[in-house]
Copies of this chain bind each other. A is one copy, B any other.
Amino acid sequence: MNKDAGRPAKRLSSHERRSLILDAAATVFFEQGYSATSMDAIIERVGGSKRNIYNEFGSKEGLFTAIVSEAAESALRALTAEEIGGRNLRETLTEFAQKLIEIYMSPKLIGVYRVTMAEAFRFPDLAKAFYDRGPGRTALRLAEVLEDAKQRGEIEIDDCRIVADHFTGMLRDNIHLRVVLGLQPPLTVDEKKKVVDSAVAIFLDGILTQPKRPQ
């Protein structure tokens, strides 16, 4: 009667084992890509038998989709959970940008980013899920913030969606690309701060010396 309660006790709990497998597999998948990663390589890292993986995830595809979904969700949790409650627009954007660059520069999300992009044709559902929960959701939320400010007359823009995309793009610029390509180590705290401040300043004020024509 003890087995009826879901899962019987094991040497390592099923959840622990699953978590270990996911971590090890994520490392290999994110480094080598989907096709170049072998199940043997994963087992070599995590130990145990291949039977474990196949019992838990069914196939290589199942393992891969589980990894990407889980990693994406865990990395993006910070953004969706917390509310953006700055006092004024500049502070709100700064806070927003700080969270965003923190997430985009995290090794885990960089792995998700690379592998999702690489396998977008093979796993279109995964690509859509990643975009919708990540960059898409972010941009939508930001667009709402901008819309509010627009209603209050603080800013004057046309299409909030496009402008929100632009702002997130500034945080995912060449620096991010260099990190993703492995040409540069992840940013230090100071560097992140500098990028955030610079992006916010340009986004709000532009770069022209002369103020905008009041017209």
Give residues in A with beta carbon < 8 Å to B: 31-36, 114-122, 124, 127-128, 130-131, 135-136, 139, 146, 153-159, 162-163, 165-166, 168-178, 180-183, 194-195, 198-199, 202-209, 211-212, 214
> Which secondary structure dominates where chain A touches chain B?
helix
Which residue, A33, A122, A139, has most C-beta atoms of chain B within 10 A? A33
Q: List 19 A-B contacts (CB under 8 A).
A: A31-B121, A34-B36, A114-B120, A117-B181, A131-B181, A139-B174, A156-B209, A157-B202, A162-B175, A166-B170, A166-B202, A169-B169, A169-B171, A169-B172, A169-B174, A172-B172, A202-B203, A202-B206, A206-B212
The residue on B at minimum CB distance from A113 is: B117
